[in-house]
Structure 1
Amino acid sequence: MQAGYKNIAFGPTHTHKTVREDGIIHFRLQQLLGPVPEKLTQKLMEWAEKTPDKTFLARRDKTGQWQKLSYIETLNKVQSIAQYLLNLNFTNEETLVILSENSLEHALLALAALHTGIPYSPVSPPYSLISQDFSKLKHCLELMTPKVIFAQNGLYYQKALALAKTLCPDAEIITGEGNNGIDFAHLLDTKATEEVEAAFAKVNSDTVAKVLFTSGSTGLPKGVINTQQMWCTNLQQITQVFPFMATTPPVFIDWLPWNHTFGGNHNFGLALYNGGTLYIDDGKPTPQGIETTIQNLREIAPTAYFNVPKGFEMLIPYLEKEPELRQNFFKNLHMLFYAGASLAQPVWNRLEELAVETIGERIPIITGLGCTESGPSAMFANWGGAFSGLLGVPVAGMDVKIVPDGDKLEARYKAPNVMRGYWRNEEATLKAFDEEGYYKTGDAVKFVDENQPDKGLLFDGRIAEDFKLSTGTWVNVGVLKARLISAGSPIVQDVVLAGLDKEYVSAILFLNAEACRKLANLSAEITNQAVYQHEAISDYLDKFLDRINQAATGSSNRVEKIVVALDPPSIDLGEITDKGSLNQRIVLKHRAYLVEQLYQ
């Protein structure tokens, strides 16, 4: 397309690259890190003074009306809740655990914990609502030793709360609705005293803010310690990457869960840090949830929109058929931002085309690289004209150490926004860092241009996922997987590659049921398994495999056989994380029968 990009102020991208005698590379941004607040709720107090009546948070109630909290209302409620928590006399070993989804009550309770220095942990709702054995929920509760456990709806979380009462008999159960514990409204009736101010004064940059659980290679979640410094530093770094957020307070409409670093640290944090407004979207990228998201986007015009690739893919048909929705979506938009997986290039191209059709210019599509352990952001490609797989350059204050590992280069991090360790897991903490104190990400990267480092880094797969064929040829799993998903979109939703010590590469495909139904012209009554085995889908996949292999240059990127997984990935078995990404090793382990079919 010839259309230019919307004129948006992005931070500088000039870098400094040094190569050591041992071949290790250090890669940094030349821009220095600006001043960082000591604790996050300083920002809440700042905006409550500067813009007291501005809406900070909003969520629809059961009647569909937006319930809004201004900055001053939020601060007043947080102080009341803080006093309630202080009255419970938490010990140094006790924490606060939140089991449920994003909500106004969730936000207020979390902010009160932050304000008083009580560590809190938002646990993935699927651990309570989808899991059948509650093994991950049990693990999280036992590790956190909570004094307070919160769930938004006591009836929805009834089984999980029953387990919590058994495991933590002395913990206080609080619910926002559903009458299965102390009513959250009771907390708001508490009158704040000088004790709240005294507790806030004791909170410093080293105070544990929260613990975010991330699935490890064993399938059991590890708790990443997020200090006040870690979170505040990363928000300052991100704001320097996107300075327009500091000059024009952002407006977000967002569904991404706060138990994950993308939604909880990045999006919620950026709204608060920059005096913006966050509308809580109760939708999500599912056939049912997308309707809720679309209804919200018909009303709310975001200045930046965050989603996972699947969410953007599901958004496109609505933007195509509703001109008014399209106009409202693009009119104030500074950027589209994706994370969690690679965005298929056809989806990327169509988003740019729709922007041009609507406002006459392209909206920058942004991503980067990070992880829960870096709070989350480590680098960004913050310029128009990026493409899927481009990671960009480091954030200010981040030292990216690039270490040769076989024929790969691993990215390692050292910065104030990098965790100090895992919660009550010394063994995992020791394994996470190298001898120089850099966090080992396991992400492989390479320069776009060795001689022009300002062009940034490319994603080159995961070190641990790559494998060798029996011929000794290495297979780059991340790159090949992204290629398959992009070529198969929207039918192919995810891919697991097999072939360790085999003669050829093969793939287990996880399909998008709704896209398959549409292609095969099947009704919703037909089971997913029957849909996946329909002749129209088989024909599509045969042609898909032919297309992939026409572009193959050798055995490392040629897929000889594919098989469709008829059952969805299991969260209990650890095949899928709560953010929707697949654990390749565990899928191959539990679906060994499919691998056998591929190599019969």
Structure 2
Amino acid sequence: MTQTATFGPIATRKLTRSDGSILIHSEQALQPFPQTITQKLMHWAGHTPDQPFLARRNAAGWGQPLTYANTLRRVEAIAQYLLDLQFAEGDTIAILSENSLEHALLALAALHVGIPYSPISPAYALTSGDFSKLRHTLTLLAPKLIFAQNGREYAPALAMARGLFPTARLVSVEEPVAVSFNDLLATTPTTAVAKAHERVTGDTVAKILFTSGSTGLPKGVINTHRMWCANLQQITQAFPCLAAKPPVFIDWLPWNHTFGGNHNVGMALYNGGTLYIDDGKPTPDGIETTVQNLRELSPTAYFNVPKGFSMLLPYLEAEPDLRATFFRNLHFLFYAGASLAQPVWSRLEALSRETTGRVVPIITGLGCTESGPSALFANWPGSYSGLLGVPVAGLSVKLVPDGNKLEIRYKGPNVTPGYWQQTAATASAFDEEGYYKTGDAVRFVDETDPDKGLLFDGRIAEDFKLSTGTWVNVGILKASVLAAGSPVVQDVVLAGLDQEYVSAILFLNPQACQQLADLPANTPQRVVFQHPAVQQFVDALLARLNQTATGSANRIARAIVALDPPSIDLGEITDKGSLNQRAVLQHRAVLVQQLYTK
């Protein structure tokens, strides 16, 4: 039966101060939350022991999911193994590999007895040519135990790690190079596990999440138990439908990122729900896996990045049965990580109306790794691309003038205390009142009514001036390009610092370009992107955009197609697929030069 989404209250309070800064708070009080995240695991193991918690497809299908009761039993066994290793203060666990049942169990065991762990981007170990980011993150962590799902697949990375830390315990599930994960599961727990858990407090470090390194090498964001639990309570108050009935998620988002690891796994655990691990992702091969999973399972909320929704759309439009399964129990769709193009948004709304007779709300917000992640939500029906919403309960938001923009800053129980082993970075991240400086710019929908929410206004550091002294609002202009260019244009980086005009480097969707050029699916990507039909589309796109341009700051004079995909080694892209403007401009200087060669 179709269910109606329910959302929390959105009343806010606004105060403008004499220095020009603006404070915004939610009128809703933050309700009590547990001191540690695994208190929720213990709660559900006692109250709904047979409720499925985690499942992952294998060769035979979804198999037997981990229930809350058997998850807790396994967690206690692994926790005893960890205690037997006698972790000292500052010792950590590093997890190198992808989302998996064993990854989750090891993480929960570390959380249960107060050992900090860090899920590191698998790309650092598998696709990197020099392991520079992996070496950097491991050096900061100095791990006592290192986990990889498959010992053979991760053998080069593990060998490098062993060279750095000869005494570290190397644990794998498949083809272990040292210790088998089964050894951890076979450990008999003692009363030491319960005693260690009692010593865990809200201030205990739960995990270290590394940023994508958009402005240099990754920084390790400290996530305490209080920070994580507070944010999960804030999210639940914003979306009380999650607590009304155990949620069901089918999710691919990587756990080394706060969106997948904190928000999605955390919301399933916090509310006694089920998370099906989707081994797909928004790539030409991975989307097929995602679609197959969605043909079989009906989520109650579905989370993705804009690229993922764009790639899913053609399947939903082509398959009525998939649509029926997908929308059957869906309270809302949620996107983050980048702006969702309005044409994609409109097509999703049309599909939900066609399938269910109602529009399934599309929700987003604003946050970052440092805020746990959620700080704002546009948690009401009828929102639109670019709308960020209002602050979550218990969070104080400060808007600080920066030129002609307002930078948004956060202070509250869900905000990080700082960066792991990086005191200088920690000191510079907060202002004199203790607010975390995000670097994100926002503006009011209506300055007289803060309940209408805030709009994204780009990144403070991304904006640049033309040689005329005119500022270019990168966030707004980029959103316009993506909206007009969807689905062919997948992402865009804008150039023009100290130049006479704005230009663009376009990253295109290979499948959409193949269809546009009427080329076979196996045509090399560079050939597809250089097809005359694609260039004609780009030319027409610029002409269409510039018809509504009001001046040099929002007119794109020239554009060039990036023939090679963005590189994670060079910091051009994150695991979620979002682009780093600074890195792209730096490493594609030849393209920029072409754009400004007469």
Q: Does residue 328 of the first structure (1) align with residue 325 of the second (2)?
A: yes
2:237 maps to what in 1? Answer: 240
Structure 1: which amino acid aligns with 2:21?
I
1:397-429 Cα offsets, whole Å, 9 max, x none, are 010000000000000000010000000001111
Instruction: Say which SS state the counterpart of residue 64 (structure 2) adopts.
Output: strand
Residue type of the partner of 1:142? Answer: T
Cross-structure match for 1:260: 257
Native 8 Å contact 1:60 1:67 kept in 2 = no
Bigger mean CA deviation after superposition, 261-270 or 306-315: 306-315
8 Å Cα contact 1:219-1:573 kept in structure 2 = no
2:224 matches 1:227: yes
Q: Does 1:371 align with 2:361?
A: no
Deviation of the 1:320 alpha carbon? 1.4
Question: Are residues 1:506 and 2:503 paired?
Answer: yes
Alignment equivalent of 1:432, drawn from 411, 429, 442: 429
1:345-494 aligned within 5 A: 345-494=342-491
- Kept in 2, the 8 Å contact 1:23–1:403? The answer is yes
Unaligned runs of 5+ in 1: none
Partner of 2:285: 288
When structure 1 is superposed on structure 2, of 234-243 and 490-499 the one drifting more is 490-499
1:154 matched residue in structure 2: 151
Letter aligned with residue 267 of structure 2: L
Structural RMSD (CA): 1.1
Give the secondary-structure state (helix, strand or coil) at the position aligned to 1:67: coil
Determine if the alignment matches structure 1 residue 13 to structure 2 residue 10.
yes
Shift of 1:65: 3.4
Which residue in the other structure is 1:62 paired with?
A: 59
CA contact (8 A) 2:305 2:576 kept: no
Give the distance between the partners of 1:66 and 1:274, measured in 2 at CA. 23
Matched residues in 1 for 2:369 and 2:279: separation? 23
Identity %: 68
1:341 aligns with 2:370: no
Q: Deviations over 1:104-137 (max 9, x none)?
A: 0000000000000000000001111111111000
Equivalent of 2:568, from 571, 575, 578? 571
Q: What is aligned with 2:112? A: 115
**Bigger CA drift: 284-293 or 571-580?**
571-580
Please say if residues 507 and 562 of structure 1, whose CA atoms lie closer than 8 Å, have aligned partners that are also in contact. Answer: yes
Distance 2:303 2:20 in 1: 37
- Displacement of 1:150 after TM fit? 0.4
Deviations 1:66-93 (A, max 9, x none): 3310000000000000000000001112
Match of 1:193 among 174, 190, 201: 190
1:284 and 1:575 map into 2 onto residues whose CA distance is 18
Asked if residue 37 in structure 1 is aligned to residue 27 in structure 2, the reply is: no
Alpha carbons 2:208, 2:220 under 8 Å: kept: yes
Is the contact between residue 3 and residue 329 of structure 2 (CA under 8 Å) also seen in structure 1?
no
Equivalent position amino acid for 2:520 in 1: S
User: CA separation in 2, counterparts of 1:417 and 1:57?
Assistant: 25
Equivalent residue for 2:202, pick from 177, 200, 205: 205
Alpha-carbon deviation of 1:179?
Answer: 2.8
Report 1:116-135 matches (<5 A). Answer: 116-135=113-132
Indicate the SS of the match to 2:24: strand
Out of 87, 98, 107, the position equivalent to 2:95 is: 98
CA distance in 2, matches of 1:420, 1:599: 44
* In structure 2, C-alpha distance between the alignment counterparts of 1:217 and 1:99, rounded to whole Å: 20
Instruction: Answer with 580-589 or 377-386: which moved more.
Output: 580-589
Query: What is residue 558 of structure 1 aligned with on the other side?
Result: 555
In 2, Cα distance between the equivalents of 1:144 and 1:132?
Answer: 21
The DSSP-based 3-state class of the residue aligned with 2:111 is helix
Q: How far 1:586 moved relative to its partner?
A: 1.7
Instruction: Output the amino acid matched with 1:467.
Output: F
The TM-score normalised by the length of structure 2 is 0.98
Secondary structure class of the residue paired with 1:215 = coil
CA distance in 1, matches of 2:522, 2:309: 26
Contact 1:496/1:507, CA 8 A, preserved across alignment: yes
- Amino acid paired to 2:548: A
Letter in 2 for 1:371: C
Q: Answer whether contact 2:170 2:179 (CA < 8 A) is retained.
A: yes
Q: Distance in 1 between matches of 2:26 and 2:38?
A: 28
